[in-house]
């Protein structure tokens, strides 16, 4: 539950959540408990339709900051005129809205929240996506240094380039798999699949174990360092990688499963893997192997963490991941 700047449960006006683009969002709210004081004494946080960047009930239109008690009375009238209804907020804050914009996140570590937000404009590059995913891990691993992570990636790429003689995509791909999977042993963590550490890049680089999506991200980042283009495949139940290749001047691609030590898959094998993972009989469809956008990549990582935290009743960490997701 969000906490106000006064250390009490935060309240918000639900009027603005019933209008405009936010009308589609579900409001998780309940009535203010009897006896809870209203106004500044309760740390009420209004989100009235005329002013969304506010922090207290007495500043619904900014007048309270300028006019003391007179301003408070005026802002109260404005709130009533707008039909404000104060509700105790029981769920995550709406996207880019209200108190979290002004005061920062209520649950997520602030350094992680800021680092994640700072990297979002750059996530269309392999480096930017890697740094944004690294920022997620700093919610629980605040001492993890992204510069050290990038140095590790550079060492892996340089080791690969030191072995390869031909710079053809096929030769680079073969040596990439030789370094990552055969030499270093990167693979899926089948023994402790739902451990949140499998979603944290610092832990994955250290243990060389992870989820399909984090292993695919490491795979993509190292591949980019040697000139290979790799995409994420947002397949249901099991994230994959797709490597761009060239065959006699014609563009082609190949599916890779980093979870199973870089196994190469044909299109038919990909659909079989999806059916096996989901437990459903699915008709082959291009939508099932659609390339993931950078935001979809990050959103899926955050969904995985929410599920892992919910399974161990770490509700505050669930809310923290929702706060990061609200930035996407």
Q: Report if residue 4 sits inside a domain.
A: no
Average pLDDT over residues 166-193: 93
Q: Report if residue 157 sits inside a domain.
A: yes
Q: Based on the domain organization, do 89 and 151 belong to the same domain?
A: no
Average pLDDT over residues 4-31: 39
**DSSP category for residue 18:** G
| Pairs from 192-198 (Cβ < 8 Å, separation ≥ 24) | 194/307, 194/308, 194/311, 195/308, 196/140, 196/305, 196/308, 196/309, 196/317
Q: Which of 62, 87, 103 is the last residue of a domain?
A: 103
Average pLDDT over residues 40-60: 37
Q: Phi/psi of residue 10, each to 5°?
A: -80, 140
**C-alpha neighbours within 13 Å on the C-beta side of residue 45:** 25
Q: Based on the domain organization, do 33 and 132 belong to the same domain?
A: no
How many angstroms separate the Cα of 94 from the Cα of each of 18, 24, 80, 327? 12, 11, 22, 10
Distance of CA 151 to the CA centre of its chain: 23
List Cβ neighbours of 15 (8 Å cut-off, separation of 6 or more). Answer: 47, 48, 49, 82, 83, 84, 85
Answer yes or no: are the C-beta atoms of 265 and 163 closer than 8 Å. Answer: no
Q: Which of 103, 137, 169 is the last residue of a domain?
A: 103
Q: Report if residue 3 sits inside a domain.
A: no
| pLDDT over threshold 90, residue 216 | yes
| pLDDT over threshold 90, residue 62 | no
| Percent of the chain residues past pLDDT 70, beyond the cut | 67
**C-alpha neighbours within 13 Å on the C-beta side of residue 306:** 15
Q: Based on the domain organization, do 231 and 281 belong to the same domain?
A: yes
State the residue range of the domain holding 20: 11-103
Q: Which has the minimum average pLDDT: 166-175, 215-224, 311-320? A: 166-175
| pLDDT over threshold 80, residue 3 | no
| pLDDT over threshold 60, residue 181 | yes
- Report the C-alpha gap between 138 and 325 in whole angstroms: 15
How many angstroms separate the Cα of 323 from the Cα of each of 15, 100, 195? 21, 9, 21
What pLDDT is recorded for position 248?
A: 56
Q: Based on the domain organization, do 96 and 171 belong to the same domain?
A: no
- Report the C-alpha gap between 194 and 305 in whole angstroms: 9
- Specify the number of domains making up the chain: 2
What pLDDT is recorded for position 308?
A: 97
| pLDDT over threshold 80, residue 208 | yes
């Amino acid at each position: 539950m969000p906490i106000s700047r006064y250390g009490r449960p935060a309240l918000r006006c639900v009027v603005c959540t019933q209008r405009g683009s936010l009308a589609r969002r579900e409001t998780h709210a309940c009535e203010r408990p009897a006896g809870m004081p209203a106004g500044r004494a309760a740390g009420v946080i209004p989100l009235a339709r005329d002013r969304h960047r506010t922090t207290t009930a007495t500043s619904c239109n900014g007048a309270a900051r300028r006019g003391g008690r007179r301003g408070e009375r005026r802002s109260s009238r404005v709130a009533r005129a707008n039909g404000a209804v104060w509700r105790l907020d029981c769920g995550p804050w709406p996207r880019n809205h209200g108190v979290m914009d002004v005061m920062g996140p209520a649950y997520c570590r602030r350094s992680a929240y800021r680092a994640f937000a700072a990297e979002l404009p750059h996530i269309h590059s392999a480096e930017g996506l890697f740094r944004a995913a690294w920022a997620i891990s700093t919610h629980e691993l605040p001492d993890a240094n992204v510069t050290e992570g990038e140095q590790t990636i550079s060492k892996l790429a340089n080791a690969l380039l030191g072995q390869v003689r031909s710079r053809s995509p096929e030769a680079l791909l073969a040596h990439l798999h030789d370094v990552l999977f055969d030499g270093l042993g990167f693979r899926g963590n089948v023994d402790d699949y739902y451990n949140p550490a499998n979603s944290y890049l610092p832990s994955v680089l250290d243990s060389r174990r992870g989820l399909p999506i984090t292993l695919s991200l490491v795979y993509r980042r190292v591949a980019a360092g040697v000139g290979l283009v790799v995409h994420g495949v947002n397949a249901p139940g099991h994230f994959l990688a797709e490597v761009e290749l060239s065959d006699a001047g014609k563009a082609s691609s190949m599916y890779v499963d980093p979870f199973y030590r870089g196994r190469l898959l044909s299109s038919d094998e990909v659909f079989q893997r999806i059916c096996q993972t989901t437990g459903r009989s699915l008709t082959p469809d291009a939508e099932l192997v659609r390339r993931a956008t950078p935001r979809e990549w990050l959103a899926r990582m955050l969904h995985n963490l929410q599920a892992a935290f919910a399974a161990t009743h770490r509700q505050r960490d669930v809310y923290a991941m929702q706060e990061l997701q609200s930035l996407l």
